[in-house]
Amino acid sequence: MTQNRFVGGWHLRFQLGPMVDDPDPRRRARATLRAIARNPGAHARVVFARNFERRISPISVMQHADNELRLAYGRSPFRPWRRVLRSQLGAGDAAPSYLPQANATARAFAESIGGTPLNLLIESVGGKSFTAHILGGAIMGAHAEEGVIDTDHEVFGHPGLYVVDASAIPANVGVNPSLTITAMAERFAARQAERAAGSVVGSATIQA
- Cβ contacts of residue 120 below 8 Å, gap of 6+? 15, 16, 17, 130
Q: How many whole angstroms separate alpha carbon 14 and alpha carbon 43? A: 10
Provide the H-helix boundaries in the chain: 25-38, 40-47, 52-55, 100-113, 121-124, 178-207
- Cβ contacts of residue 149 below 8 Å, gap of 6+? 138, 139, 140, 141, 155, 156, 162, 163, 168
Q: How many whole angstroms separate alpha carbon 187 and alpha carbon 195? A: 12
Q: How many whole angstroms separate alpha carbon 137 and alpha carbon 70? A: 9
Asked about 133 being catalytic, the answer comes back as: yes
Question: One of 11, 43, 64, 133 is an active-site residue; which one?
Answer: 133
3-state SS assignment for residue 155 = strand
Q: Any idea which residues carry the catalytic annotation?
A: 133
